[in-house]
Structure 1
Amino acid sequence: MKLAIKGGNPVRTEKFPAYRIMGDREKEALCRVIDSGVLSRFLGVWHDDFYGGPEVQAVEREWAAFLGVKHAISVNSCTSALYCAVGATGVEPGEEIIVSPYTMSASATAPLVYNAVPVFADIEEDHYCLDPDSVESRITSRTRAIIVVDIFGQPYDRDRINHIAQKHGLYVIEDCAQAPGATWKDKKAGTLGHMGCFSLNYHKHIHTGEGGFVVTDDDELAMRVRLIRNHAEAVVEKAGRTYLNNMIGFNYRMTELEASVARCQLDRLPDLLEKRQENCLYLNDALSEIPAIKPTFIRPDTTHAFYVHPLKFDRAVAGVDRDTFIEAVKAELPLTELREGEGVKVSSGYCKPLYLQPMFQNKMAYGSGGCPFVAPWYDGEVDYSKGICPVAERMYGEELFLHELMRPPMTKDDLDDVLKAFWKVWDNREELL
């Protein structure tokens, strides 16, 4: 059977179904807020409304109860959540924060907001989270915190990373934008470090268009996050706060509209998560029968949230490189409804290691003088050269591929079409040589 990329007929032309998780409950919630006439009730002063309106406060209580934590602070994005969490640690200009090179850029740029310096550690071979040995090798007297990422939905190595952090007196900030509902033993992702950061962006498990949360059991950290979220500098005096470090506040507030939708969406999360897991495990088992494909490995004592389905490709076994193989698979499959402009939802490599971005290669963030990398308050010499994270570079350039063709409401027939495309390319890979 001739490959589609070589002029043959594709396995499927009908679009895959959209990931639609909005319904009547969300419509009713939005109408309730609109009818109230209050789309936001935040005030950037010390007042009862410093904490937001009734929907915001309700969703914060419900999110905290779901996760089993004392505090959930709503924000307008996970990027904002990370900025708040980093500021709440009290990080000083010139201090360092260890970050992942293999994630969305905000996980690594958050330290720069406070003139701190990101230091990249490598990732694990099989789980793609920060590698504990690499993390420990990057710690210096300047290190303040570690930002771990539950990448693709896999919780980080909580035992080892937290032990390292405790030994060196460091904060652990957990970026679990891709892992809501995932678990480590009896604890949910986002509650494994000092603070956890969540996303409600439109392509996440559940979404409000934009939105996020910071969660913590620490009363002081929670208050600092709330202050940074909402114009801290205008609030601290009347709030009786004497701690002023990083108390330049922002406007990272969630609206009543977003909060009302988030309340509905949270109820949907367990069912949506169960379906993702079911679909991914089905595909994982089937795709691992192709000799060149290595399945997703799930860390012991954890559950995986499967934001995407990550797999590895072995060129030596296939006799053809990953990118050529994946482009051929994509040619066999259709677009997805509502995301037609993004191409077939199968991709190679995920993201280029972040330290290879121009900002890090040129060591230039603020102004044209290299701040904070060469600022007088920084007495280190951070290395962003190619080769510092060899596993991340190999995953990006040669081995890792991932897809999103497992999200509800994908049926077993839909999944089988995905499998047919992979097997067709595998069985006819000589056409690619």
Structure 2
Amino acid sequence: MLSVNYNKLAIHGGKPILSKKDIVKWCPVLQKDREAIKRVLDQNEIAGSNATETVKLQQEWSQYIGVNNSILTNSGTAALHMAVASLGIKPGDEVIVPSYTFVASATSVLHHNAIPVFADIEKDSLFISIKSMEKRINSKTKAIIVVHLNGMPAPIDKIISIAKKYNLKVIEDACQAHGAEYNGKKVGSFGDVAAFSLNKSKNLPAGEGGIFVTNSNDYFEIAKRLCKFGEIYNERGERDYNAYGLGWMYRSTEFVASFARSRLKYLNEWNQKRRENVSYLNQLIDDIPGIKTILPIKNSLPAYWRYMFKIEPEELNLNIKPKNLRYLIQNALIHEGLLISQWQKMIVPKQTLFINRNGYGNGCPWSCDKSSKNIRYDKYDYPNGDNIVNQSLWLKEGIQPFNSIETIEKIGLAIRKVFENIELLIDSAKNDYNSF
């Protein structure tokens, strides 16, 4: 195992622990990927709902997840919108969304003229708070969006239990959780509908794209129309150019489908490597005061999208605002060669769109006559979400497959080096930051 170089911190002119060549960025293009793209060119069929690669990917993904139906889309956001719309969510209906998530979890609700209502997350976790969620359920609530954040399965059984109690639908946002499992089942197979992303950063990267999944044939048929201009296509892909309702153009291409199929063959292997790397990195830094790792819940098998940890200034007996300490540590780690940052700069209900409540203009959909007029997004209602934003750091690269054990050790060393020089780091910053 490597040992710490106790020379000056890199931010103070010392030598960084990692160099650019130490980290293999996700995801290298393999020879099999190149062959998959060539196959599309050779087939001379580059797009189409019934095109060969698209149909095969949808079949293979359904089998992998354990669902009846899948639809390839051009983004995870499109898949989320299709998930909301396929359930029959109507203007003015309310959908509960966790405060700490990517904005698309909430805007997918707005896209169908419904209202996202935010619940806080649990303390020291990444998952929606059952107590906060249940408190926000009323007669206008129609669904709950469960986010399996960072590839870590949420306690979906508890959430489904609440949903059944109030006759609500469950949407799984699994855009960061390809192949993750809870109680031996793949996430995405529990709810009424689910969405995955094929963005280049995700565990199953195909450049850009998404997949909508459901066990319901009814939701599947609705989603198919939404994906293609509101039209109905026959089995041969023929259309009558008659829109039966609002629809969008959410189709993808054969290149994305073929690329995803190539990489699906490696997904289980890659996820296992992520788990091994995260487990080893946890071992390397778990004893460092001031660091708290977020562990997966019982009976879950995570598919870690990225590596994240929480900073606890109380453990260090430091009189400094948590967000200021996080900023100093983040900056120091960047200088040590880590690709690290906050994941989100603020919780979703603090974003301007929701503070101003002006989605389509004229205050809609909040001001529309179908909506409740008392919807407000009070920034003080989500303390746990705020806490995670201010005190967590996400390692963007390093734990993904193709990185070596030595790279994981260097990441651990860089984190240890910074935390063991934390007082020096703070002292050197006092002249620049009066609030410290």
Same-fold call, TM > 0.5? yes
Between 324-333 and 135-144, report the one with greater CA deviation.
324-333
Distance across 2 between alignment mates of 1:25 and 1:12: 30
Mapped contact 1:127–1:154 kept (Cα < 8 A): no
How many aligned positions are there?
408
Distance 2:360 2:231 in 1: 22
**Matches of 1:12 and 1:87, distance apart in 2:** 46
Asked if residue 329 in structure 1 is aligned to residue 333 in structure 2, the reply is yes
* Residue matched to 2:352: 358
Unmatched segments (≥5 aa) in structure 1: 43-51, 334-343
From 1, 4, 8, give the equivalent of 2:10: 4
Q: 2:40 aligns with which of 33, 45, 50?
A: 33
**Cα separation, 2, equivalents of 1:255 and 1:429:** 50
**1:297 CA drift (Å):** 1.2
How many Å separate the matches in 1 of 2:402 and 2:40?
Answer: 29
| 2:27 aligned with 1:20 | yes
Counterpart of 1:265, as a letter, is R
What is the alpha-carbon distance in structure 1 between the residues aligned to residue 20 and residue 114 of structure 2? 49
- Which whole-Å CA distance do the structure 2 matches of 1:220 and 1:266 have between them? 27
Whole-Å Cα distance in 1 between the matches of residues 123 and 190 of structure 2? 21
Instruction: Compute the displacement of 1:210 (Å).
Output: 0.8
Matching residue's letter, 1:295? T
SS for the counterpart of 1:387 is: helix
Distance in 2, Cα, partners of 1:167 & 1:419: 45
Q: Which amino acid aligns with 1:80?
A: A
Whether the 8 Å contact between 1:296 and 1:309 is mirrored in structure 2 is no
Cα separation, 1, equivalents of 2:20 and 2:28 = 21
Please name the residue that 1:416 is paired with.
409
| Residue 345, structure 1, aligned to residue 339, structure 2 | yes
Contact residue 284 and residue 296 of structure 1 kept, 8 A: no
In the alignment, which residue of structure 1 is the partner of 2:429? none
Fraction of identical pairs, as percent: 34
Runs of 5+ consecutive residues of structure 2 not aligned to the other structure: 1-6, 427-436
Q: Which moved more, 1:93-102 or 1:373-382?
A: 373-382
**1:257-336 alignment, distance < 5 Å:** 257-318=255-316, 319=318, 321-333=325-337
Q: Secondary structure at the match of 1:10?
A: coil
Q: 2:138 aligns with which of 137, 140, 165?
A: 140
Is 1:187 the equivalent of 2:185? yes
User: In structure 1, what is the Cα distance between the partners aligned to 2:20 and 2:79?
Assistant: 39
What is the rounded CA distance, in whole Å, between the counterparts of 1:417 and 1:403 in structure 2? 13
TM-score scaled to structure 1, two decimals?
0.90
Residues 266, 391 of structure 1: alpha-carbon distance in 2 compared, 3 angstrom cutoff: same
Residue deviations 1:157-180 (CA, integer Å, cap 9, x gap):
112110111111111110111111
| Alignment TM-score, normalising by the size of structure 2 | 0.90
Q: Secondary structure in 1 aligned to 2:207?
A: coil
- Correspondence list, 1:109-148, <5 A: 109-148=107-146
Q: Deviating runs (4+, > 6 A) in structure 1?
A: none
CA contact (8 A) 1:127 1:299 kept: no
- Cα-to-partner distance string for 1:251-296 (whole Å, 9 max, x where unaligned): 1112111111111111010111010110001111221110111122
State the partner residue of 1:339.
Answer: none
How far apart, in 2, do the equivalents of 1:325 and 1:394 lie?
16
Residue 420 of structure 1 deviates from its aligned partner by: 1.2
**Matches of residues 136-215 of structure 1 in structure 2 within 5 Å?**
136-215=134-213
Deviation of 1:198 after TM superposition, in Å, equals: 0.5
